[in-house]
Structure 1
Amino acid sequence: MSSCPNGAAPMFLEWGNTSVTIDQTLARGIEIGIGTPQQIVALTPSSNDNDLYVVNKQACQPSYNDSCAGLFGGLFNPTASTSYVEVTQAQWNGTAEPNPNHLSHIYFNDDISFGNTIVDGFPAFMDQLGYGNQGSLPLGWNSTFLNAVVAQNATPSRYWSLWPGSRSIDYGVPGELVVGGIDETRFNPQNVATFQSVPECTLCAIVTG
């Protein structure tokens, strides 16, 4: 049980293979449903991002195929979602982030689901076609995802821990994102360490000596 004010338990989300097309093309990521009806995407957890990013279905046109969809962790088709609302950047309630390449983003709000939680009108964006990689789940300092799960009383806190698992072909093991706590079966207090990191990349450790 949680000792935090909202009494919620930590949320456990698997980081593993997710079917992202009707033909069951697999992509490794954290499974998120977006839109109405929901479209399944597999997002890569990112400590450098504050906003949820998905790849526009147009990124795989005109020769759409499952391999392309799998490469991006699934695709989002805004025209297929009845709850999709495109907005201007000024209207958007996401986080203002640097855009050094001056890319043209599409900002929108739509319903998302993860675990047993549904959030209506969640802020997200799509990149300019030809740029970007697999969609990402934001875990940065001002993450809209972490803010939302606490606001929904789905987790006790914005604290998170991540176990990557293994992508070994022969011995692959799913990873795990825990929001609001840690997986005590994978935690050894004797191995806890602190490190300096690159200012622009919180998980990029600085090696000295």
Structure 2
Amino acid sequence: MASTVLYIAATVLLAQSTVAFNCSTPPIYVDIHKRAVHNSPIFQYGSFIGVGTPAQNHSLWPSLSQNHTSFAGKDYCNNSTLKDCADATGGTFITSESTSFTGNDKLQSLDSGSNFTGALAQDTLHLYTHYFETDGASQTLLENSTVEVASHGNINPGIVGMGLSSTVLQDLAAQGLIAARTYSLYIGQGFDRAGGAVNGSNTFGGYDSGRFQGDVHRYAMTTSDRNPLSVKVKDIIITNTADPSSNVSLFDTSKFPSSSAPTAFDAQLTTDQYPLSLPYQITQNFISHLGAQPDNTWGDNSLKLKNAFNGTLSIVLDDGFTVTIPPEVLMNASNITPIQDRPKDSDDAPFYLSTAFLSQVYVMMDFESFSFYLAEAVQKNNAVMPITFCPKATPVAYVRPKQSAWVSQGLIGAVIGGVLGGIGIAITAYCFWVGWARKHANRRQERELEAGQRRKLRSLQMEVEDVPEFDPPPKSATPFFWKKR
């Protein structure tokens, strides 16, 4: 009896959890690339999101730690130390131009330790789905969503907050616009610091199955941290591209005898900075091995190599998932690396696998079960394939249809090539035969004409009469009238 009750209770709970999420609701895809933004003279890289009525266009940078979606107010740059502020805020939000803007003093901030201050309000967000730059965009309206309008600070405040308590994700789920509080991100490489050309994407309530490949690795969120996505790094390996066997582990004390033995460490995933921030000893081993030195060209204390290096850096997580930073990312055209200098007495501060790391990774987050997934990113996908990300489900990468042995081994091509080649040979032979036959017929006709002409000539010759000759009679018998005169 007890087992029956437990079974019924479990069935009811399962039914309730299933009914709570309408997993037939399609996701909302929002691309990330450069575009014109409100009240700015240049194109800026970010998520294609607008605010207000009528909409003011913005490019918002995804943040895995901030919860509010925020915009720079019209006076932000007058009160900010942000470098090139007017060209780096993702656009300016002028509240007086929006008829749907509503201030609300009762709203409480969900973010602490932010590098800017502002006021919370409510307005309509425009989430633009724009699969390809050459195509037009459609929009999803998220009405009465909580936004923050920044007034003072020293960072780019144009941010779509995707932290643990993301207001945009909560509002989308509450209004039934997505199946649940799930979200996926590929940050891309199309921004100035990365110096690449690959665009990124957000997928609210889903994931892009064509943007990642290989095995998907699951991790638990650390809900006590401002950056809830945390992984354990057990090794970092540098490989010279010219010699793939030249692997050097930055954990190897035999290679770096003056260092203490490094141990596996926890690192947080973040989009708040570009360079990776690694433990001091690991950073020193990197400096020693590649001849790196401090540099602050980008204002982020990235290390710079004295000499060019064509190699990769592979980060190995404790479950075996390995993320390899390619040569063009490990060292840019100015020899600047994505590794940040680290003070000696700073190992109490968090370690970060930052935007440089995420440029090679597709990350999928399930805030309903507080878990996230990592997979190798497909840098250039030929098609966008958004799929609903139902809570507790494991994302699955798009797999191309299996090819038969004829296709995979190129036998169909060989057969088609053989058939076409045979047809070509047959056509060539036929044309040759037709030409020969025509020439042969012409020659035969010429011979027949010549023979006919000869026969006609002979016939004409036979029609001419020959005049007969008569011998004169003997003289003794010549009559008088046969007298020769």
What's the TM-score, normalizing by structure 1?
0.80
Match of 1:45 in 2: 62
- CA gap 1:168/1:57 in 2 versus in 1, 3 angstroms: closer
Match of 1:152 in 2: 175
- CA gap 1:176/1:87 in 2 versus in 1, 3 angstroms: same
Q: Residues 122-137 of structure 1 correspond to what in structure 2 (within 5 A)?
A: 122-137=145-160
- CA gap 1:50/1:8 in 2 versus in 1, 3 angstroms: same
User: How far apart in 2 are the matches of 1:108 and 1:14?
Assistant: 25
User: How far apart in 2 are the matches of 1:100 and 1:201?
Assistant: 13
Match of 1:14 in 2: 31
**Segment drifting more, 36-45 vs 107-116:** 107-116
Higher Cα radius of gyration: 2
Match of 2:189 in 1: 166
Is the contact between residue 44 and residue 136 of structure 1 (CA under 8 Å) also seen in structure 2? yes
SS at match of 2:141: strand
Is the contact between residue 70 and residue 158 of structure 2 (CA under 8 Å) also seen in structure 1? yes
- CA gap 1:206/1:72 in 2 versus in 1, 3 angstroms: farther
Root mean square deviation, CA, Å: 3.0
* Deviation by residue 1:135-174 (Cα, 9 ceiling, x = unmatched): 1111112211111112232222211111122227775011
Match of 1:187 in 2: 212
In the alignment, structure 1 segments of 5+ residues that lack a partner are: none
Match of 1:96 in 2: 110
**Segment drifting more, 52-61 vs 122-131:** 122-131
Q: Counting helix residues as a fraction of each chain, which structure ranks higher? A: 2
SS at match of 1:157: coil
In the alignment, structure 2 segments of 5+ residues that lack a partner are: 1-18, 129-138, 235-263, 265-485
Deviation at 1:180, TM superposition (A): 1.7
Q: Residues 27-38 of structure 1 correspond to what in structure 2 (within 5 A)?
A: 27-38=44-55
Q: Percent identity at matched positions?
A: 24
Match of 1:207 in 2: 233
Is the contact between residue 196 and residue 205 of structure 1 (CA under 8 Å) also seen in structure 2? no
Q: What residue identity is the alignment partner of 1:202?
A: P
Deviation at 1:100, TM superposition (A): 7.5
* Deviation by residue 1:40-97 (Cα, 9 ceiling, x = unmatched): 11111111111111111112349xxxx6333011111112222222221xx22x6533
SS at match of 2:62: strand
User: How far apart in 1 are the matches of 2:196 and 2:104?
Assistant: 44
Number of residue equivalences? 199
Q: Residues 111-126 of structure 1 correspond to what in structure 2 (within 5 A)?
A: 111-115=124-128, 116-126=139-149
What's the TM-score, normalizing by structure 2?
0.37
